[in-house]
Structure 1
Amino acid sequence: MTHTVAEIAHALGLEAAGDDSLEIDGVAEPADAGPRQLAMAMKPEYAEKLGQGRARAAMLWDGADWQGMALDAAILAPRPRYALSALSAMMDPGQGYTAGIHPMSSIDETAKLGRNVSVGPFSVIGPGVVIGDDSVIGPQVLVGQDTRIGEGALLHAGAKIGARCTIGARFIGHFNCVVGNDGFSFVTPEASGVEKARESLGDQGEAKGQPWARIASLGGVTIGDEVEVGAAAAIDRGTVRDTRIGNGTKIDNQVQVGHNTVVGEHTLLCGQVGIAGSVTIGDFVVLAGQVGVSDNIRIGDNVICGGSTIVLSSIPAGRVMLGYPAMKMDQHLEVYKALRRLPRMARDVAELRKAVSKPGSND
């Protein structure tokens, strides 16, 4: 996979400087880059390490003095990290999935596969499945009954899509992700201790153990276009209506999305986020790593929750939240600073109490 500097710059819509006929085989960090690799020196602090490598060309920021860095060529980008998105796609050699239908796959005779669809070994395509053109189904993938997947999908090895799911175009499902497993929904014959504790916020009263009865998930999962689901992530199907994921939303590894939840468009759910059932999340929301969201609440558009935030109540649009329980980030930082001062304050109070309690201290 070889490109000239000129070809790369043209593909990215950027300016090439210097000897743009140089051939590039890949990309590397500045200190590790060889003469046929494009060094990712996207910030001045990264460019300082160019001398440790052997790069002849680099991706740099607008206005960078590439000649002063002893380079033969450069690609200059107003926002280099954004340019890296298209560049990485150009340079990605992929996972090596082969074209065509592997003879060791199992495809139901009622399934409909579009043009140029490939299916890897030990994959199972169920009855009534529809898969769009140019999709790649890796090895050991399951696509359940009556599920529909749009064009250009990529299901990596081990991905599992349950029955009656609807997935849009250019979906990416990473290794061992699961879409459409049953929701975690159980009920007791009488009000359970959990229900009583929620009402009282304390003692559950006279408690008795009860067996849990399973509520089947009759809904499915509906996913829009350009959605990505990370490795070992799970999206539960709805109890009656579908769980929904909007266009352009990206879901990281080991994320749990509970039944009946609705996630808006272009939202980021980072690693180990856990979302309980029947949550509504708006558009352009970012939930950082290990954020937890309680059930039956709403998170408005453009909300950002910092890492390990625990959301126990609804959040209006545009808020930046942090902490457990979640509060506005500036307020949380103020509380945290006060918390760090508590030991010193306790010592000061103890000293004051000693001084006041000494005989004759009022003289």
Structure 2
Amino acid sequence: MPHTIAEIAAALGIRAEGDTALAVSAVAEPARARPGDLALAMKPAFAEQIAQGRAQAAMLWDGADWQSYGLRAALLAPRPRYAMAGLSALMDEGPGYRPGVHQTAIIDPEAKIEGDVSIGPYSVVGAGAVVGAGSVLGAQVFVGNGSQIGPSALIHSGVRIGHGVRIGRRFIAHFGASIGADGFSFVTPEPSSAEKARETLGDQTGAKAQSYARIHSLGSVAIGDDVEIGANACIDRGTVRDTVIGAGCKLDNLAQIGHNVTIGSDCLICALVGIGGSTRIGSNVVLGGQTGVSDNIFIGDNVVTGGATKVLSNVPAGRVMLGYPAMKMEAQLDLYKQLRRLPRLIADVAMLKKSVSNRDAND
């Protein structure tokens, strides 16, 4: 659907200049833009590519000399990347789910489906479950008995939501996400080899083979408002108390949240992050891709971890962490620099030893 430059500026609360009646129907990279596209040139390096395309309008940074790029109109944003969030929402036509309940969907008579809900083919909604008004369930979605999904949810095909899960407003779950599976909780009749290894840091004297007994997950999962879960991400239910995901959290694809984990509000959990059971994470935390977090520890507010960081102990609020084991980023980078110098240091020591040996031989 076409939008004029003036309409976009009003919707995003940013400034428009030039021919604001010009209409665009899509966004594009500057070099690939056609006349009906809005080129996204949010910094000078991107704007230099405008001449390679045919865009007549672009989103630029505040203060940009848009006329020098041969444009007819421009959107000027103080923080273009933030404006892009609103722009992408405005231009997104959605996945095209049809309204109503598909004839192949199985809805338990005791389930409550509120108004203006779309439920796709072969989806299942269990007894006592509630699907909030304006929500969309794609094909083959499973909602377990007694689960509650707040209004305006968008749950894509193949998502699995276990029994008794509670989810807030405006929830988004991408393909294949699993919410409310049992936690990974097993115990042996006597302390296991893994327990002994952890306690002794390696000594397993007297360890013997044992079978594992399953600890059932009696808790559930509670998810706040405005949470988004990536494709094939997994959130396990709690053992006794609930696993909790705070409002505004965003989980990337293939993230794993263990049983009893508590995550505060507005956290970013990037791809392939794994969080061990019963760990507590504060608010506004960013865990970079492939970060591993041990069980039963605490991470304070505003902590940031770099990619592939392994957090094995508590982290105070505000720290930026990197490495295995995790340490302050500046300390880890300094250590890495020292490691790179080791070959030269070893060569220098070898040369000194040879020099001393030669001198002793001459004496």
TM-score (norm 2): 0.99
Three-state SS of the structure 1 residue aligned to 2:31 is coil
Report what 2:120 is aligned to.
120
Cα distance in 1, alignment partners of residues 136 and 308 from structure 2: 35
Aligned residues: 363
What is the Cα deviation at residue 23 of structure 1? 1.1
What is the Cα deviation at residue 2 of structure 1? 1.1
Cα distance in 2, alignment partners of residues 81 and 235 from structure 1: 30
Cα distance in 2, alignment partners of residues 303 and 166 from structure 1: 27
Report what 2:196 is aligned to.
196
The unaligned stretches of length 5 or more in structure 2 are none
Query: 2:6 aligned with 1:12, yes or no?
Result: no
What is the Cα deviation at residue 359 of structure 1? 4.8
What is the Cα deviation at residue 14 of structure 1? 1.1
Cα distance in 1, alignment partners of residues 69 and 233 from structure 2: 43
Cα distance in 1, alignment partners of residues 340 and 44 from structure 2: 36
What is the Cα deviation at residue 360 of structure 1? 3.8
Query: 2:187 aligned with 1:187, yes or no?
Result: yes
Alignment root-mean-square deviation, CA: 0.9
Report what 1:88 is aligned to.
88
- Residue by residue over 1:143-183, the C-alpha shift from the partner in whole angstroms, topping out at 9 and shown as x without a partner, is 00000010000100101100000000000010000000010
AA of the residue aligned to 2:81 = R
Three-state SS of the structure 1 residue aligned to 2:101 is coil
Report what 2:348 is aligned to.
348
- Residue by residue over 1:232-265, the C-alpha shift from the partner in whole angstroms, topping out at 9 and shown as x without a partner, is 0000000000000000000000000000000000
Cα distance in 1, alignment partners of residues 329 and 360 from structure 2: 48
What is the Cα deviation at residue 353 of structure 1? 1.0
Q: Work out whether residues 312 and 326 of structure 1, in 8 Å CA contact, stay in contact via their aligned partners in 2.
A: yes
TM-score (norm 1): 0.99
Query: 2:228 aligned with 1:234, yes or no?
Result: no
What is the Cα deviation at residue 358 of structure 1? 1.9
Report what 1:272 is aligned to.
272
Report what 1:158 is aligned to.
158
Matches within 5 A, 1:240-319: 240-319=240-319
- Residue by residue over 1:32-60, the C-alpha shift from the partner in whole angstroms, topping out at 9 and shown as x without a partner, is 00000000011000000000000000000
What is the Cα deviation at residue 207 of structure 1? 1.4
Cα distance in 1, alignment partners of residues 199 and 157 from structure 2: 45
What is the Cα deviation at residue 113 of structure 1? 1.0
Cα distance in 1, alignment partners of residues 249 and 362 from structure 2: 68
Three-state SS of the structure 2 residue aligned to 1:175 is coil
Query: Measured at CA, do residues 60 and 347 of structure 1 come closer, stay the same or move farther in structure 2, by a change above 3 Å?
Result: same
Q: Percent identity?
A: 61
- Residue by residue over 1:120-155, the C-alpha shift from the partner in whole angstroms, topping out at 9 and shown as x without a partner, is 000000000011110001111000000001000010
Three-state SS of the structure 1 residue aligned to 2:100 is coil
Cα distance in 1, alignment partners of residues 211 and 360 from structure 2: 67
AA of the residue aligned to 1:281 = I
Cα distance in 2, alignment partners of residues 249 and 46 from structure 1: 30
What is the Cα deviation at residue 356 of structure 1? 1.2
Report what 1:26 is aligned to.
26
Cα distance in 1, alignment partners of residues 13 and 359 from structure 2: 83
- Residue by residue over 1:91-140, the C-alpha shift from the partner in whole angstroms, topping out at 9 and shown as x without a partner, is 11211111111001000000001110110000000000011110001111
Query: 2:170 aligned with 1:170, yes or no?
Result: yes
Moved more, 160-169 or 200-209: 200-209
Three-state SS of the structure 1 residue aligned to 2:30 is coil
- Residue by residue over 1:203-223, the C-alpha shift from the partner in whole angstroms, topping out at 9 and shown as x without a partner, is 111111101111111100000
Cα distance in 2, alignment partners of residues 310 and 124 from structure 1: 38
Query: 2:138 aligned with 1:138, yes or no?
Result: yes
Cα distance in 2, alignment partners of residues 256 and 106 from structure 1: 29
Three-state SS of the structure 1 residue aligned to 2:59 is strand
Cα distance in 2, alignment partners of residues 188 and 116 from structure 1: 50
Cα distance in 1, alignment partners of residues 202 and 8 from structure 2: 63
Q: Work out whether residues 355 and 361 of structure 1, in 8 Å CA contact, stay in contact via their aligned partners in 2.
A: no
Q: Work out whether residues 270 and 289 of structure 1, in 8 Å CA contact, stay in contact via their aligned partners in 2.
A: yes
Cα distance in 2, alignment partners of residues 96 and 158 from structure 1: 16
Cα distance in 2, alignment partners of residues 15 and 359 from structure 1: 78
